[in-house]
Amino acid sequence: MRNGRGLILVVVLAATVLAKPVRNPAGFKFEIPENWTVENGNGASVLLPPKVKVDPMREDNPEVYTVYGHVEGEDIADMTRQSLKANGITAEGVTEPYRPLPNRTGTAYLLDFKHPDRPGEVRLRIWTLFIGGKRLTLVAIGQKEKVIAREWQLRTVAKSMDFVPVAK
């Protein structure tokens, strides 16, 4: 559009619609985009975007997104980094404070690396929220371009994580 002074650019951002609340039997919840599905396990939930399949027997899935609810003292982010080091990945990532809501604190971790047995770069993204002495963690790992393409959706999932009473 043009006004009397010059050109005005109009930018429209497509917002991710979070329409599906998910509750894991271990006592945590989060929201996912409407067209995603979830496979709940004991203390973890695997998030599946459309047309994504995760084969637990493969170490080279193109993209894997998992929410972990865990007990005090257990640090999924640190365990993931230690696992990478044990497999010869020595690159260091960047950890930053993460505050998605005024009453929530946590960390966000980012590491891009080249896996010796896979083509292309791999991206590891970890969001951890500290809530009432416990941690909720979203781990995203996969082909760098795939994880980058879902960044906004993943940030929105991370922001929605919370603990709930365990169903009896």
Task: Answer yes or no: is pLDDT of 2 > 90.
Answer: no
Q: Can you tell me whether residue 151 is helix, strand or coil?
A: helix
Could you tell me the pTM of the whole model? Answer: 0.84
Two tokens at 18? 């979070």
Q: Are 150 and 65 in contact (CB under 8 A)?
A: yes
Q: How confident is the model at residue 1 (pLDDT cuts 50, 70, 90)?
A: very low
Q: How far apart are CA 90 and CA 113, in angstroms?
A: 9
Two tokens at 9? 């650019």
Long-range contacts of 143-152 (CB under 8 A, 24+ apart): 143/62, 143/63, 144/112, 144/120, 145/120, 146/62, 146/63, 147/63, 147/123, 148/123, 150/49, 150/63, 150/65, 151/125, 152/16
Domain ranges of the chain: 18-163
Q: Is domain 18-163 classified as CATH 3.40.1000.10? A: yes
Q: How far apart are CA 164 and CA 1, in angstroms?
A: 49
Q: Are 70 and 161 in contact (CB under 8 A)?
A: no
Residue 75 is which amino acid? Answer: D
Q: What kind and span of H or E run contains 79?
A: helix 76-86
Instruction: Give the pLDDT confidence of 75-115 residue by residue, as tens digits.
Output: 888 888 888 888 888 878 899 999 988 888 999 999 999 88
The pLDDT score that the predictor gives to residue 17 is: 56
Higher pLDDT, 74 or 131: 131
Which residues have a Cβ under 8 Å from the Cβ of 131 and sit 6 or more positions away? Answer: 104, 162, 163
Q: How confident is the model at residue 49 (pLDDT cuts 50, 70, 90)?
A: very high
Task: Answer yes or no: is pLDDT of 30 > 90.
Answer: yes
The DSSP annotation for 121-135 comes to EEEEEEEEEEETTEE
Instruction: Give the pLDDT confidence of 128-151 residue by residue, as tens digits.
Output: 998 888 899 999 999 999 999 999
